[in-house]
Amino acid sequence: MVDLDGKDILITGGTGSFGKKCTEIVLDRYEPNRLIILSRDELKQAKMKSRFSPQEHPCMRYFIGDVREKDRLCRAFTDVDIVIHAAALKRVPAAEYNPIEPIKTNVMGGSNVIEAAIDRDVDRVIALSTDKGANPVNLYGATKLCADKLFVAGNNYSGQGGTRFSVVRYGNVVGSRGSVIPFFLEKRETGTLPITDPRMTRFWITLEQAVDFVLNNLVRMEGGEVFVPKIPSMEITDLAEAIAPDCDHEIVGIRPGEKLHEVMIPRNVSRRTLEFEDYYSVLPAFRDWDRDGYQKENGGTWCEDQFRYGSDTNEHWLTAEEIRDMIGLDDEEYSRPDGETRATAAE
């Protein structure tokens, strides 16, 4: 685990689900010199400040700013050691309807982060990505794929001994804003859950696991890797059954921009992917990258050609009990619309 004691850390998009959990974990485990939350929403910052106040945590700083503004990033990144780039526009339907906006934030904003980090001599930058950035079928995924490539190539601009950039790619986060789980929890009170396609599968990870994975890779990163955790999959129907076992299912069809299954490592990058016990590391495609030296220093086993890490071919599948534990619910919380518990109704 990385030692963040005495470090100056900045989280872009820090008032989001990841940023708040990351702040909680960093304050619990470490004593950073500064922990800076940079976001554009003053209301969310006010709410977050009431939970992590500078009075109780003197290291906390709250900066209003947007990754679209490079000048603001240059000022904010002054004397910062580590940047965790979590800012993004990620709602798939909204991105399809307003395509220029996610391009400005996810692509051009990522470029601004890279240039500001290099100009301010930031030591390490790790950017959060998504399974939707691998072989994308929607604009959000396309912007994240573009951003991933920018951060991997950012090491070319910083040069040897300069700022290091890497990417972390993971699947759906349990309970995060935009996740299907809060939607199912709300809809279960109607007695019917809308299901896009009963064959659909997704990767799942908890917020704490996501934060741990990011912090661990701050140590591992040499610059240019895309880190992918080994996390479980679940069929959408099993998820619905775990959350609301007595609800009916209404098949509504796959929405525009959705996949039947998600992929985190496509076949076309398998030849430069190393497998470790609990994660994969996709190395950059540059010819001067010493892949054999990287393996010798870090370990791992080269994946077979045409290997694919998809939610439908995963070796680890969540049970109903496991997903309930991840969500933090028990049987007494599965209430019917009339207030009677599902457990009572089944007796």
Give catalytic residues, as residue numbers.
132
Beta strands 201-205 and 263-265 are unpaired
- Tell me how far apart the alpha carbons of residues 5 and 250 are, in angstroms, rounded to a whole number: 51
- Tell me how far apart the alpha carbons of residues 153 and 156 are, in angstroms, rounded to a whole number: 5
Q: Which two tokens stand for residue 149?
A: 């490539």
Tell me, what DSSP letter sits at residue 270?
A: G
Contact 263, 131 (CB under 8 A): yes
Contact 207, 17 (CB under 8 A): yes
Unique residue bearing structure tokens 């994308």: 136
The amino acid that residue 108 corresponds to is: M
Query: What is the Rg, in whole angstroms, of the alpha carbon atoms belonging to the chain?
Result: 21
Contact 145, 133 (CB under 8 A): yes
* CB atoms inside a 10 Å sphere around CB 66: 18
Instruction: Give 340's contacts (C-beta < 8 A, 6+ positions apart).
Output: none
Quick one: three-class SS letters along 171-227? CEECCCCCCHHHHHHHHHHHCEEEECCCCCEEEEECHHHHHHHHHHHHHHCCCCCEE
Instruction: Give 70's contacts (C-beta < 8 A, 6+ positions apart).
Output: 112, 115, 116
Look at phi and psi of residue 175 and say left if phi exceeds 0, alpha if psi is from -120 to 50, else beta.
left
Round to the nearest angstrom and report the end-to-end CA distance of the chain.
47
- Tell me how far apart the alpha carbons of residues 243 and 205 are, in angstroms, rounded to a whole number: 16
